[in-house]
Amino acid sequence: DAGITQSPRYKITETGRQVTLMCHQTWSHSYMFWYRQDLGHGLRLIYYSAAADITDKGEVPDGYVVSRSKTENFPLTLESATRSQTSVYFCASSEQEAQPQHFGDGTRLSIL
C-alpha cells in the first residue's frame, strides 16, 4: 500500500548502543523529515532532506546521523544512544514546499 512507514514501532535499547530508525515512503516525495516529540517541546526537527543525497540539520541534530541514498528511504541513526534521546520519533514526507507533510505512525524509543 502507498504511504509512509516507520520501523520499528517500539524499541528499547541501552545507553551507548547504536540504533537505526527506518522510514520508507512510496510516493516518491522529494522532501523527508525526522522529528522528535517531547513533553513541553512539541515537535522538534532533527534532520531533513530536500532530495536524495541532500540533507540538512534541523533544530536538534546532535547525536544523530541521517542518509538519503534513495528517494524513498530516510534512516535515522543514533550513533551512541543516551537517555536524553528517549522520545517518540516521527518521520514525514512532502511532495514539495507548500505541500502538506504526511507523517508516519511514529517510533517510540526508550533508552535505558
| Binding region for other proteins (CB under 8 A) | 30-31, 33, 35, 41-45, 48, 50, 56, 58-59, 90, 94, 96-106
Q: Which residues of 31-50 are buried (b: 16+ CB within 10 A; e: fewer)?
A: bbbbbbeeeeeeeebbbbbe
Closer to other proteins by CB, 92 or 111: give it.
92
**Shortest reach from residue 60's CB to other proteins, in Å:** 11
**Which of 84, 80, 86 has the alpha carbon at shortest distance from 64?**
80
Closer to other proteins by CB, 48 or 111: give it.
48
**Shortest reach from residue 78's CB to other proteins, in Å:** 20
Q: Which residues contact 7 (CB under 8 A, 6 or more apart)?
A: 21, 22, 24, 107
Q: How many residues does the chain have?
A: 112
Closer to other proteins by CB, 64 or 80: give it.
64
**Shortest reach from residue 48's CB to other proteins, in Å:** 6
**Shortest reach from residue 94's CB to other proteins, in Å:** 6
Backbone angles phi, psi at 7, to 5 degrees: -145, 145
Residue with cell 534513495: 70
Closer to other proteins by CB, 69 or 100: give it.
100
